[in-house]
Amino acid sequence: MILHHLERSRSHRILWLLEELELPYELKTYKRHPKTMRGSPELRKVHPLGKSPLLEFDGEVFAESGAIVEAVLDHVGGRLRPTEPEALNQYRHWLHFAEGTLMTPLLIALITSKMGGPDVPFLIRPVVKKVAATIDATFTTNELKNNFAFIESHLANNTWFAGDELSGADIMMSFPIAAGVTRAGIKTDSHPHTQAWFKRVQARPAYQKALQVGGPVLLSS
């Protein structure tokens, strides 16, 4: 397996997955552009979209984090995927919720936080800031509040997202929750069960190894 890993990105999840399963792999790390923070154009040589993560194995290049998780779990015979029907349903839900629902307002929040910054011409900066504030007030803030309240309610009754055992759903949810803790005000007093889950994730040796090998999870700003 060859993992094409972009620094400070969602591909940390796949690195954690491979470490959690103790699978042998080769790591190719790509740097972001220092000004734009975009991914390396070298990634386009691996996949036309030039995105990361990308995982090469069995003669194919797999893209999209959720699809990579599923392909790897198929490869290892279903470890980190529950078999009990209710747990399997939860696994499927949270596996897709991570990117399909939760990442959208988090990405918009990241964009609006940069609107009105020093890269915006001074004369229009107040207008751009007002537009960003309107987007947050009418969409982003409530979406994040509702999504993280939903997550908190689920984790109040579950150790992991698909029940009592770690699964690929937890690996997929790790990145947006890390972003929520860092950027969306997900604190211990307001979301104690989410914070407790995140601490369990961070305490896993494979998660720590992924940080050592691949570097921090998120962009610093």
pLDDT digits over 136-155, tens only? 999 999 999 999 999 999 99
| pLDDT given for residue 174 in this prediction | 97
pLDDT digits over 7-37, tens only? 989 999 999 999 999 999 999 999 988 777 7
User: What is the average pLDDT across 31-48?
Assistant: 87
> Does domain 2-75 sit in CATH 3.40.30.10?
yes
Give every CB contact of residue 183 below 8 A, 6+ residues apart in sequence.
106, 109, 110, 113
| pLDDT given for residue 78 in this prediction | 77
Task: Write down the residue that tokens 């908190």 correspond to.
Answer: 152
Cα separation values, 140 from 104, 106, 116, 151, Å: 9, 8, 17, 16
Domain with CATH 3.40.30.10 in the chain: 2-75
pLDDT digits over 65-124, tens only? 999 999 999 999 978 999 999 999 999 999 999 999 999 999 999 889 888 777 777 778
Domain with CATH 1.20.1050.10 in the chain: 85-204
CATH T-level fold of 85-204 = Glutathione S-transferase Yfyf (Class Pi); Chain A, domain 2 (1.20.1050)
